[in-house]
């Protein structure tokens, strides 16, 4: 298991390295750019995709615990949307496929989604986040659904207390 995880990390970082390398070479050595692509031994379109994703997502915005493919899913979006989706994938432990599915669902429900407000990013330590994930899984809901439900319950309790005080 550990070896497999390590290999996946190396593969993902290799994509970033190749993309950044091609982008650097394209600006610095325009006349040798094609030679570099041929030297790598990968399909031209694959190299171009690596370079495109690397150009669209700057180094400081990349998430170390998400794969290159996660980033490729959001590369065509504006930076704010990239950050939003990468943040959700990171917080909820989504696979690339789950991220793609969630983006597709959001696009299909854009009218409904446009009426929602995106809250600021929530900072929590790893222990607390894992506890919340486990509670969500135990409740058979996503982490986001669990958090929203918890906030709804707290709001309801606050209103119930307020109403009880007004009645007395």
pTM score, whole prediction: 0.59
- Report domain extents, the chain: 1-56, 69-121, 123-168
Q: What pLDDT does residue 53 have? A: 96
What value, to the nearest 5°, has the Cα angle with vertex 127 and ends 122 and 129? 35
DSSP string of 105-128, one letter each residue? HHHHTHHHHTTS-PPPPPP--HHH
**Residue-wise pLDDT tens digits, 118-156:** 777 888 899 999 999 899 888 888 888 899 899 989 989
**Residue-wise pLDDT tens digits, 87-103:** 999 999 999 999 999 99
Higher-confidence residue: 112 or 109?
109
Inter-residue contact 122 to 92 (CB < 8 Å):
no
């Amino acid at each position: 298991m550990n070896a497999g995880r390590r290999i996946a990390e190396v593969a993902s970082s290799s994509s970033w390295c190749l993309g950044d390398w091609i982008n650097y070479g394209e600006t610095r050595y325009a006349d040798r750019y094609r030679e570099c692509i041929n030297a790598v031994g990968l399909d031209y379109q694959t190299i171009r995709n690596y370079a495109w994703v690397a150009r669209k997502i700057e180094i400081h915005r990349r998430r170390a615990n998400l794969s290159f493919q996660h980033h490729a899913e959001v590369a065509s979006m504006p930076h704010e949307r990239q950050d939003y989706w990468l943040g959700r994938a990171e917080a909820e432990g989504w696979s690339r496929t789950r991220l793609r599915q969630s983006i597709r669902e959001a696009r299909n429900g854009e009218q409904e989604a446009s009426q929602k407000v995106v809250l600021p990013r929530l900072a929590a330590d790893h222990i607390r986040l894992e506890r919340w994930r486990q509670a969500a899984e135990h409740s058979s809901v996503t982490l986001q659904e669990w958090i929203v439900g918890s906030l709804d319950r707290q709001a309801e309790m606050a209103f119930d207390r307020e109403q009880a005080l007004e009645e007395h």
